[in-house]
Structure 1
Amino acid sequence: MINSVRGEVLEIGLDHVVVDVGGLGYAVQATPSTLATLRRGEQARLATTLVVREDSMTLFGFTSNEERDLFLLVQTVSGIGPRIALATIAVLDPDALRRALSEGDITALTRVPGIGRKGAERLVLELRDKVDPPGAAPAVLPGSAGGPTDEVVEALVGLGFTAKPAEQAVAAVLAEQAGADASTLLRAALSRLGRSR
């Protein structure tokens, strides 16, 4: 997984930045607020996640790990892909997003392009218990604190499984094998997902 990139900013576009990392130029999709913090020719560090699809590999970048974790969390909701998740982070900063989810603020969530009332209700229903209100420690994917859960879910999504079943499979394996390492988790989760297909 590409967890972060650090290097010279070569180019800033409307929706992406190109960062030179060891002689390779990485195109990183980012929100306007993230892009506004960058300057061409200066050094930058972005927290990142790689989204792999059948026909593309797209790197998404964020100013903080908290933004990246919320971006990943939002995608665990069915019907929410990386583009809408990025739009969510663009419209609502981490505190505003956590507040909207924990308080069930449908109006705030429907300000995000691509999220209607039903989508907002689904976000609240599925994520309300997975985020802490602003001021508390930020929430991440269940079980990811100090563990390999989020990496394994990302790997499964990269292999073509949707986020929600991947997360459920990993949680089920952890319930049976608490403290399993990433490779054990991945193998067991793949086995479970294979049986359910």
Structure 2
Amino acid sequence: MITHLKGRLVEKNPTYVVIECAGVGYFVNISLHTFSKITDSENIQLYTHLQVKEDSHTLYGFAENSEREIFRLLLSVSGIGSNIARTMLSSLTPLQIKNAIACGDVPTIQAIKGIGAKTAQRVILDLKDKVLKIYNIDEVSPNLNNTNKEEALSALEVLGFARRQSEKAVDKVLSQDPTLSVEDIIKQALKNL
């Protein structure tokens, strides 16, 4: 597996770059996000993903390791191939994709060219748990409306309760009184867990 390339930038286009490493030129497919991060300096380094098929070996390059992680997660979803994953990373930043998946934001993912409603729902369904597990919850959901709810859920997770179970208990407490403080939400939720 080729994990990264470090060499001289020979050619730069919005969809690919050519990097010369030890006399060998590598054709690397990139997203617009990576294109915007690549400077015109002579030497560059890209994290790579090598896709091996029966009839081809294709390299995909990423300016950041986090972008490569999201790309690999997207490839794990049935119906998402490398071209659609690259289109997604060209339309949205890795952080925007991560947040959309974590928050269950179907319209944001569906707005990407080539992604329909069913595919957007499948992406969220397949990846939400992985994204919440891999990335810190505070990092993934800064734009959720109820910060008290999130703080309470984070505290319950630290106490060892499963997120889904905690979320049901917290939602039940908040449906009775949405003005509770974080401490009161946790106390009431613990009674229901």
Tell me the TM-score normalized by structure 1: 0.65
1:66 — aligned with what? 66
Higher helix share: 2
Q: Compute the displacement of 1:33 (Å).
A: 2.6
Q: Compute the displacement of 1:91 (Å).
A: 1.5
Q: Compute the displacement of 1:102 (Å).
A: 1.0
Residues 138 and 28 of structure 1: CA distance in aligned 2, closer, same or farther (over 3 Å)? farther
1:181 — aligned with what? none
Q: Is the 8 A contact 1:32 1:90 kept in 2?
A: yes
> In structure 2, what is the Cα distance between the partners aligned to 1:105 and 1:134?
18
1:80 — aligned with what? 80
**Mapping for residues 16-27 of structure 1, pairs under 5 Å:** 16-27=16-27
2:33 — aligned with what? 33
> In structure 1, what is the Cα distance between the partners aligned to 2:83 and 2:127?
18
Over aligned residue pairs, what C-alpha RMSD do you find?
Answer: 2.3
Q: Compute the displacement of 1:42 (Å).
A: 1.1
Residues 31 and 6 of structure 1: CA distance in aligned 2, closer, same or farther (over 3 Å)? same
**Structure 1 residues 65-74 or 129-138, which shifts more?**
129-138
Residues 138 and 86 of structure 1: CA distance in aligned 2, closer, same or farther (over 3 Å)? farther
Residues 74 and 9 of structure 1: CA distance in aligned 2, closer, same or farther (over 3 Å)? same
> In structure 1, what is the Cα distance between the partners aligned to 2:94 and 2:132?
11
Tell me the TM-score normalized by structure 2: 0.66
> In structure 1, what is the Cα distance between the partners aligned to 2:4 and 2:36?
18
Q: Is the 8 A contact 1:102 1:128 kept in 2?
A: yes
**Mapping for residues 43-192 of structure 1, pairs under 5 Å:** 43-132=43-132, 136=136
Unpaired runs of 5+ residues, structure 2, are 140-193
Percent identity, aligned pairs only, is 37
> In structure 2, what is the Cα distance between the partners aligned to 1:138 and 1:127?
17
Deviations 1:47-93 (A, max 9, x none): 10101111111100001111101101111111111001111111121
- Higher-Rg member (1/2): 2
* Structure 1 residue runs of 4 or more that deviate by more than 6 Å after TM superposition: none
2:13 — aligned with what? 13
1:152 — aligned with what? none
Matched AA of 2:115: I
> In structure 2, what is the Cα distance between the partners aligned to 1:40 and 1:68?
21
Q: Does 1 or 2 have the higher relative contact order (CA < 8 Å, sep 6+)?
A: 1
- Partner of 2:37: helix, strand, or coil? coil
> In structure 2, what is the Cα distance between the partners aligned to 1:84 and 1:113?
9
Q: Give the aligned length.
A: 139
Q: Is the 8 A contact 1:7 1:20 kept in 2?
A: yes
- Partner of 1:80: helix, strand, or coil? coil
